[in-house]
Amino acid sequence: GAGVSQSPRYKVAKRGQDVALRCDPISGHVSLFWYQQALGQGPEFLTYFQNEAQLDKSGLPSDRFFAERPEGSVSTLKIQRTQQEDSAVYLCASSLDRVRTNQPQHFGDGTRLSIL
Partner 1 sequence: DAKTTQPTSMDCAEGRAANLPCNHSTISGNEYVYWYRQIHSQGPQYIIHGLKNNETNEMASLIITEDRKSSTLILPHATLRDTAVYYCIATIPYISNFGNEKLTFGTGTRLTIIP
4 Cβ contact list (under 8 Å, min separation 6): 23, 24, 25, 26, 92, 93, 94, 106, 107, 108
Among 1, 28, 39, 40, binds partner 1 (CB under 8 A): 40
Contact between 52 and partner 1 per CB under 8 A: no
Which residue lies nearer to partner 1 by CB, 17 or 50? Answer: 50
The residue count for binding partner 1 (CB under 8 A) is 30
Chain CA centroid to CA 3, Å: 15
Q: Which of 101, 97, 46 is nearest to 75 (CA)?
A: 46
Among 18, 55, 78, 85, binds partner 1 (CB under 8 A): 55
Contact between 43 and partner 1 per CB under 8 A: yes
d(CA 55, CA 69): 11
d(CA 102, CA 92): 18
User: Which span (14-22, 47-55, 65-73, 80-88) binds partner 1, by CB under 8 A?
Assistant: 47-55
Which positions lie near partner 1, rule CB under 8 A? Answer: 4, 31, 33, 35, 40-45, 48, 50, 55-56, 59, 91, 93, 95, 98-102, 104-110
